[in-house]
Amino acid sequence: MSKFEDLEKKIGFSFENLSLLKEALTHRSYLNERPNWNFPHNERLEYLGDAVLELAVTEALFHQFPELPEGELTVYRAALVNYQMLSKIALSFNLDEFILMSKGEAKDVGKGREVILANAIEALIGAIYLDQGFEVTKRFVTHFVLSHLDDILKSGSYKDAKSTLQEIIQDKLKVTPTYKVIEESGPAHQKTFRVGVYFGNEFIETGTGNSKQEAELEAARQALKKYQ
C-alpha cells in the first residue's frame, strides 16, 4: 500500500484524481528541497478548502440551530474552524505523517506546526471538493469537524477571548470592543498582523498573529488581563 493509499484509507475517501491529493499534501517548503517535484504547493487548495469548510459548517449550524442569531452561530463556527481545532483534527488521523515539507519545517513542533496542519486539512478539503463535489465534502466535514460540536458546547470552549471580552465590556462600559489592523508585515504567503482593540475611541491593547482573526484573539486576551 502506497503512502497516499494509506491516507485514503484513514479518511475513508478514495481520490479519482490522485494528483489533487499530492498537491494538497505539498507544503511550500518541500519545493525548495525537491525542485523536480511535479506538483505545486497546496496554498491554492487551502484557499479553496477554507471557503468550502466554512460553507459546510455554516450550513450545518444554520439548520441545526434555527433559533440562534447570526452572532452565536458565528462563534460556534469559529470554534470549529480555527487553526488549533483543525490541527487537532488533522492529528486525529495522523495527517502530519503524510505532509510533504522540508526537513527544517518537519522539526517545528510548536505553533508553526499547528498552522501547517490546519492549512493542510483545508487543502485536503479543497482537493476532495474538486475531486467529487460539495455533497461528498460535507460528509468528510461532518465526520471529522462537526463531530466536535457537542464537546465544544459542553465545555464552553466556543467562548473565545473576543466573546468573553465583549460580554464583560458591554456589561461594565456599555460599549462593544472593536478591532483595527495597525500593521501588516511579511511576504504574502506568511503575513503577520498587528491588531488593536478599542473600547469606543479608546485604544486598549494590541495583539499579533498570522491572521487577522488570530491577532484579534491575542489582542482580546491582552485586554482581558486588565478587565477580568
Same domain, 29 and 133: yes
94, 173: one domain:
no
Residues 125 and 169 in one domain: no
In a shared domain, residues 29 and 15: yes
Quote the pTM value.
0.74
> Given this model, what pLDDT does residue 57 score?
97
Alpha helices in the chain (DSSP H): 3-11, 18-24, 28-33, 43-64, 70-81, 83-92, 103-107, 111-132, 134-144, 149-155, 161-173, 212-227
Same domain, 197 and 100: no
Last residue of a domain, one of 94, 125, 155: 155
Assess whether 49 and 121 both reside in one domain: yes
* Domain endpoint, select from 155, 186, 217: 155
pLDDT of res. 106: 73
- Does residue 185 share a domain with residue 138? no
- C-alpha grid cell, residue 187: 511576504
How do residues 4-21 score in pLDDT, each as one tens digit? 999 999 999 999 999 999
Query: Measured in whole angstroms, how far is the alpha carbon of residue 212 from the centre of its chain?
Result: 12
Higher pLDDT, 159 or 180: 180
Asked if 210 and 218 count as a contact pair (C-beta separation under 8 A), the reply is: no
The phi, psi pair for 151, rounded to 5°, reads -65, -40
On whether both 107 and 200 belong to a single domain, the answer is no
pLDDT tens digit sequence for 34-59: 989 999 999 999 999 999 999 999 99
Amino acid at 129: Y
Catalytic residue numbers, as ranges: 50, 122
- Which domain, by its residues, includes 41? 3-155
CATH number, residue 165: 3.30.160.20
C-alpha cell at 149: 460540536
Q: Does 182 share its domain with 77?
A: no
Q: Is the confidence at residue 224, as pLDDT, over 80?
A: yes
Q: Are residues 58 and 77 in the same domain?
A: yes
Question: What's residue 83's pLDDT?
Answer: 86
Cα gap 123→227, rounded to integer Å:
39
Under DSSP, is residue 26 helix (H, G, I), strand (E, B) or coil? Answer: strand
Q: What is the number of domains present in the chain?
A: 2
Could you tell me which residues are beta bridge partners of residue 195?
Answer: 181, 207
Instruction: Record the cell numbers describing residue 50, joined without a space.
Output: 477554507
pLDDT average, residue stretch 171-185: 91
Instruction: Name every residue whose Cβ is closer than 8 Å to that of residue 53 and which is 6 or more positions away in sequence.
Output: 81, 122, 125, 141, 145
CA distance 148 to 155: 11
Which of 155, 186, 212 is where one domain is finished? Answer: 155
Same domain, 27 and 101: yes
Residues 182 and 85 in one domain: no
> How much is the pLDDT for 1?
57
Interval 203-216 mean pLDDT? 90
CA 39 – CA 49 distance, rounded (Å): 18
Of 73 and 52, the one with more pLDDT: 52
19-34: pLDDT as tens digits: 999 999 999 999 988 9
- pLDDT confidence of 228, banded at 50, 70, 90? low
Domain with 126 in it: what CATH number?
A: 1.10.1520.10
